[in-house]
Chains A and B, each alone.
Chain A
Amino acid sequence: MAKYKTKPLGCWQRAKEIRMKYYKDYAEAHDRGALRWEGGAWSFDAIPQALEGELHPLTEEPYGASVGFKPEAQVRYQEAAEGKWGCARDLCAYMRSYWGSIILNEYVFPEFSKEWPKADFIFQNHICCSHAKWLQIANELEGGDIPYFCFDVGAGPYNKIGERQITYVVEQLHDGIEFLEKVTGRKIDDEKLIRKVNNTYRSNCSWAKTCELNQAIPAPLDEKTMFSLYVLGVLEKSNEDIADFYEKELYPEAKDRVANNIAAVGNEQCRMLGDSQPPWGFLKIFRYLEKYGLVSIASLYTFALTGWWKIDENGKMVPYPTLEEQGITIKDRDHALWLLSEGELKGKLMWAPFYGATYKNEIVTKIAKQWKCDTGIIHLNRGCEGTAQHQMQMKLALQEMGMPVLTFEGNMADSREFDEARVSRVIDLFVTETLGLKKQE
């Protein structure tokens, strides 16, 4: 008999619908006279989406993850990027899938389009070594005629963001607006911009609040489920439907589950901390762990890829305050850009590791404590330097806390770099020998 009651997530189907609509809209945009644009998952989508008329983005990383979820397509696309274009196999797996998709002129959602839907412009941001280069090369692959704009968000760690750092980003965004208006022939609608920035706050803050609820025992959500939920924020966090979903559907439902002691996994007995993207083609590994009562309930990646946070005066990691909670009403364009940049630079703790292992260790050990994690199973992700940086140092920091930690090498979106049998065996040994867990009926 399960220790806790559980039930499926009510808003699950809605999340799936939103995601599939996103990819359908991108494919069919031109049919409706709408514009298409490519950008990164962290690309301040509020800005291009504030242009007059209808636009639809394609954010690269979730697209790459979607490919990773289909190993047959993933291998073909990546072999195309490696064989036909000549790129190295150890480059970001998402990037290689994306390039391969272009080279083969395929869209990984053939139900929406058989061919790769070419974008009208590129609006990208840069934090790791690859972001700007990703769409630079994509543009070259597509003929080099897609207008390209990339802005830098590498302005410093969250606790050192001041006027200069925010100004640096805001000024680039002003340049970006000038670029967008020139290449599209459309104007930014300031009222729309204000709504989009509001939605960005709602999405990021609501997701963080939802993740915070996982501090409860039992956790209302498991990480495998959360992968399908955070992704909406990296598709288009300024989207009204997505902001509504987080604020008005998911968060209230998760809160209700906590109030009624409804678990994500009924036999939760060991709470796991993860890190980085999982190997997308092998998510069944989470359900396998659940047979032992081991539930993945926390990771910096899942909490902060979408999700803004702050470290409060007590040193605790708490959700970033919404505009409403801050008592702020956005006045005009400048104010919108300032607040958007400030929220991203101060609130996106996923960027903190880019400034050092000390930052990653500080945040992850807070997560481990606050979310009452018993163990860590860390995917040493060869597919993404951005999320894999400092993982070994982080492992040492967690072990110093007394937490048993397992690491395994793999790749988030290159099935050729994941040895399922070996990893399963290693996990088996860790779970049974180190953690002393037994399979539950």
Chain B
Amino acid sequence: MIEDFKECYDNRHDYAKNWKKKNPNGKVLGYFCTYVPEEILYATNILPVRILGGHESPHLVTPHMFDMWCPYSRDCLNQGLEGKYDYLDGIMIAQSCLHQRHAYATWEIQIPTPWKYYLVMPNAVRSPRSKPFLAGELEDFKKAVEEWVGKPITDNDLDRGIEIMNTNRRLMKEVYEFRKPENPPITGTESMTMVWASQLMDKREHNDLLKQLLEDLPNQKLDRDQGVRLMIVGSENDDTPFMEMVESVGGTFVIEDHCTGSRYFWDEVLPENNQIQAIANRYCDRVPCPSKDWGQGEWKQKRFPHILTLAQEFGVQGVVLMQQKFCDPHECDIPSLRRYLESNDLPCYFLEFEVTVPVGQFRIRIEAFLEQINAEELFD
């Protein structure tokens, strides 16, 4: 199953093109940001595919988006400019960080894509006012999608879309449960590959693979020492070489909080009489992106206690704080988060990511971090 996930992740464009062939009446919609309500897309015959970078030099981007912008966003745009996403029928974004918005906005102008949509996802997600506002925006979005696909989206369709997404979230959380005990049967890299694939693959197919994986995991045992149990927290991360490196030098990522990881799927849509309102509620109540993690009356970050809870539940011994270079939302949070976690006896190590990371140098630093954790335990 992990191989299937990896196959989809490595050959995402072929996957999407094949999906189109198998679903001639369907559409493939590329999306930026995990605030995009995929429930509405799965309510009709649309395959949502997350626009991810290719970990290649974004050499086409500078005339459009100069170097001070997040390398991940520039990498995403570069993939589009290189024509890698020429099969897309549409492209959309849910209002998120400026870097992703910049990449999307340039895509709108530079890369011919038949259908485009900017969803005004509110920033004040912790205010009750955001929910009715977002429900209104989602109604408009639903109408736009109906017009695009030429078919109304019924309540039953929405139920189906919600069920597909919730099932996917639930099944991935069940897989994550296997990461809690000692010597988990699945590595962090494998878990991440599973989650990345969920953002690229038809979730109905992904759900079937997850069910098979859940049957296999109880009987699975990895021939490796788990080493130090680590958490990775930060910006977007789909850097396989980095993950594999860490897990080859004495660490295991047992949990994470980043937007290509658990933050993407952690919260389900809870039933309401009005499905659109239910979807809106989910996206307002979910673990927030740092750019939206602020309150009215309460200034502290909502995400921090959630990260601590995850760390405690998953038996984390150390936290790798990572951010894409120039990522403002995480750069704002990281000094505070570091203090918060360290005051809760969780050692942290900070790394800045680029399109590719210097694995050799990072290896030395991670090894030192792991030694530090092991030494501390030696003297406990």
Contacts and interface: CB of A to CB of B under 8 A. Distances in A.
A109 interface: no
**Band of interface residues on B:** 35 or more
Contact of B65 (A136, A155, A392): A392
A358 interface: yes
A179 B296 contact: yes
A126 B98 CA distance: 12
Interface string B286-298: 0000110011111
A357 B98 CA distance: 12
Contacts, number: 158
Contact of B297 (A87, A91, A148): A148
B299 A86 contact: no
A152 B122 contact: yes
Interface string A360-401: 010000000000000000001010011011111100100000
Nearest to A153: B123
Contact of B98 (A88, A122, A135, A386): A386
B87 interface: no
A386 B68 CA distance: 12
B328 A385 contact: yes
A144 interface: yes
Nearest to A146: B299
Contacts of A147: 297
Contact of B299 (A129, A148, A168, A389): A148
B379 interface: no
Nearest to A92: B328
Nearest to B67: A409
A44 interface: no
B236 to A, nearest CB: 14
Interface in A157-205: 164-165, 167-168, 171-172, 175-176, 179
B101 A354 contact: yes
Interface in B30-72: 62-66, 68-69
A128 interface: yes
Contacts of B329: 129, 133
B109 A358 contact: yes
A140 interface: yes
A150 B332 contact: no
Nearest to A156: B120
Interface string B320-336: 00010110110111111
Contact of A390 (B62, B102, B323): B102
B106 A149 contact: no
Nearest to B294: A132
A40 to B, nearest CB: 12
Contacts of A382: 68
A58 B336 CA distance: 24
Interface in B69-104: 69, 95, 97-99, 101-102, 104
A381 B228 CA distance: 42
Contacts of A154: 95, 120, 122-123
B332 A91 contact: yes
Contact of B124 (A144, A152, A388, A389): A152
Contacts of B69: 385
B98 to A, nearest CB: 5
Contacts of A391: 66
Interface in A395-427: 396, 409
A357 B296 contact: no
A11 interface: no
B270 interface: no
Contacts of B146: none
A6 B31 CA distance: 54
Contacts of A358: 105, 108-109
Nearest to A353: B105
B129 interface: yes
Chain A, interface residues (CB within 8 Å), range: 35 or more
A129 B291 contact: yes
Contact of A179 (B65, B99, B123, B297): B297
A409 B66 contact: yes
Contacts of B326: 88, 90
A377 to B, nearest CB: 15
Contacts of A135: 299
Quick one: which of A90, A92, A132, A361 has the most chain B CB within 10 A? A132
Contact of B123 (A88, A126, A175): A126
B62 A86 contact: no
B166 interface: no
A246 interface: no
B77 to A, nearest CB: 11
A144 B328 contact: no
A150 B296 contact: yes
A282 to B, nearest CB: 18
A88 B328 CA distance: 9
Given A168-B129, A175-B127, A386-B98, A130 B332 contact: yes
Interface in B103-140: 104-106, 108-109, 118, 120, 122-124, 127, 129-130, 133, 136-137
A214 interface: no
B338 interface: yes
Interface string B222-259: 00000000000000000000000000000000000000
A140 B66 CA distance: 32
B99 A385 contact: yes
Contacts of A9: none
B144 to A, nearest CB: 12
Given A152-B124, A179-B296, A130 B108 contact: no
Contact of A356 (B105, B124, B294): B105
Contacts of B300: 136, 144
A414 to B, nearest CB: 12
Per CB-CB distance, the 10 closest pairs between chain A and chain B, nearest first, are A152-B124, A148-B299, A133-B332, A132-B294, A356-B105, A86-B335, A168-B133, A357-B105, A88-B331, A152-B123
Interface of B: 62-66, 68-69, 95, 97-99, 101-102, 104-106, 108-109, 118, 120, 122-124, 127, 129-130, 133, 136-137, 290-291, 294-301, 323, 325-326, 328-329, 331-336, 338
Given A156-B120, A357-B109, A385-B69, 20 more contacts: A87-B334, A91-B332, A129-B332, A133-B291, A135-B299, A136-B294, A137-B332, A148-B299, A149-B296, A150-B295, A151-B127, A152-B130, A176-B296, A355-B118, A357-B106, A385-B99, A391-B66, A393-B109, A396-B63, A409-B68
25 contacts: A85-B335, A129-B99, A133-B291, A133-B294, A133-B329, A134-B332, A135-B299, A140-B299, A148-B299, A150-B296, A155-B122, A165-B133, A168-B130, A171-B129, A179-B297, A354-B98, A354-B101, A355-B105, A356-B118, A382-B68, A385-B102, A389-B101, A392-B63, A393-B105, A396-B63
